[in-house]
């Protein structure tokens, strides 16, 4: 973010910081969402805290704040309810949703600590088995999901078999994420195909999102680790026989 902001200042660019999955995270003591001209956070049910739906914009620029408030309120400003100064939208978050979010925000440190505990246990148990998430020096991570990457020798087909085997054992899991350029819209609109971004595709084909939430128990984490290790051993054995 430091290099990005230096570049933006040099060329007089504005930065909208996408911190939707990083509430509470820090880099060198500075909170995510506070580097750019404005920051955005998401409160969909799978985020660290949720309001059911919706999100939040933060900024220290009064002009930007006023524009955001007007645009989310159908273009109204301070001149009255029936006067619309610009084209706007109905992006108002209800008081009930906000109350839910504010209550969780008061517990954000506790909730992030619980998520960090779960991630740390996964890291300890899975290190050396798969590629585990890493953090930059000077950073404080806000754990949103826990995604591992299989070693290079595993194919996409083998990864998909692993997902099936984990699911058969009652373990919720998924691939994560498919490359953006291979989404149907981008394929149709811009003609992207497999092979355009080989590094992205290679990593995407080997990712596994493992079960992750605040209150995941030690025995549940260990069951995931044991199951994944057993499945990987079986696949490696089959490949050797094949």
* CA-based max dimension of the chain: 76
For residues 66 and 56, what is the distance between their CA atoms, to the nearest angstrom? 14
Q: Are strands 146-149 and 38-42 parallel, antiparallel or unpaired?
A: unpaired
**What tens-digit pLDDT sequence spans the chain (242 residues)?**
889 999 999 999 999 999 999 999 999 999 999 999 999 999 999 999 999 999 999 999 999 999 999 999 999 988 788 999 999 999 999 999 999 999 999 999 999 999 999 999 999 999 999 999 987 888 999 999 999 999 999 999 999 999 999 999 999 999 998 999 999 999 999 999 999 999 999 999 999 999 999 999 999 999 999 999 999 999 987 766 55
Given this model, what pLDDT does residue 1 score? Answer: 87
Given this model, what pLDDT does residue 236 score? Answer: 82
Given this model, what pLDDT does residue 54 score? Answer: 93
Given this model, what pLDDT does residue 242 score? Answer: 57
Residue 192 CB neighbours (<10 A): 17
Q: Which residues pair with 154 in a beta bridge?
A: none
CATH number 3.40.640.10 given to 2-105: yes
Token pair for 61: 């620029």
Cα torsion 57, 61, 66, 70: sign: negative
Domain 109-241, CATH among 3.90.1150.10, 3.30.70.100, 3.60.130.10, 3.40.640.10: 3.90.1150.10
Q: What is the end-to-end Cα distance of the chain in Å, rounded? A: 47
pTM for the full model?
0.88
For residues 40 and 58, what is the distance between their CA atoms, to the nearest angstrom? 6
Q: Where are the domains of the chain?
A: 2-105, 109-241
Given this model, what pLDDT does residue 241 score? Answer: 59
């Amino acid at each position: 973010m430091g290099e990005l902001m230096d570049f933006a200042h040099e060329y007089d660019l504005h930065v909208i910081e996408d911190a939707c999955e990083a509430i509470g995270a820090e880099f060198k003591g500075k909170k995510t969402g506070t580097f750019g001209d404005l920051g955005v956070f998401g409160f969909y049910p799978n985020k660290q805290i949720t309001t059911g739906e919706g999100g939040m914009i933060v900024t220290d620029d009064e002009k930007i704040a006023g524009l955001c408030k007007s645009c989310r309120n159908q273009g109204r400003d301070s001149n009255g309810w029936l006067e619309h100064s610009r084209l706007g939208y109905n992006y108002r978050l209800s008081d009930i949703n906000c109350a839910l979010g504010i209550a969780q925000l008061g517990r954000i440190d506790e909730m992030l600590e619980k998520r960090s505990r779960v991630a740390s246990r996964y890291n300890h148990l899975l290190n050396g088995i798969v590629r585990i998430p890493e953090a930059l020096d000077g950073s404080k991570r806000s754990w949103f999901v826990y995604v591992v990457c299989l070693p290079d020798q595993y194919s996409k087909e083998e990864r998909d078999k692993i997902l099936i085997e984990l699911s058969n054992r009652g373990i919720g899991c998924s691939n994560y994420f498919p490359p953006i350029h291979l989404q149907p819209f981008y394929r149709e609109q811009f003609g992207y195909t497999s092979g355009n971004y080989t590094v992205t595709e290679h990593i995407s084909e080997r990712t596994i999102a493992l079960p992750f939430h605040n209150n995941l128990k030690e025995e549940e984490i260990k069951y995931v680790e044991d199951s994944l290790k057993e499945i990987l051993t079986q696949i490696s054995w089959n490949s050797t026989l094949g």
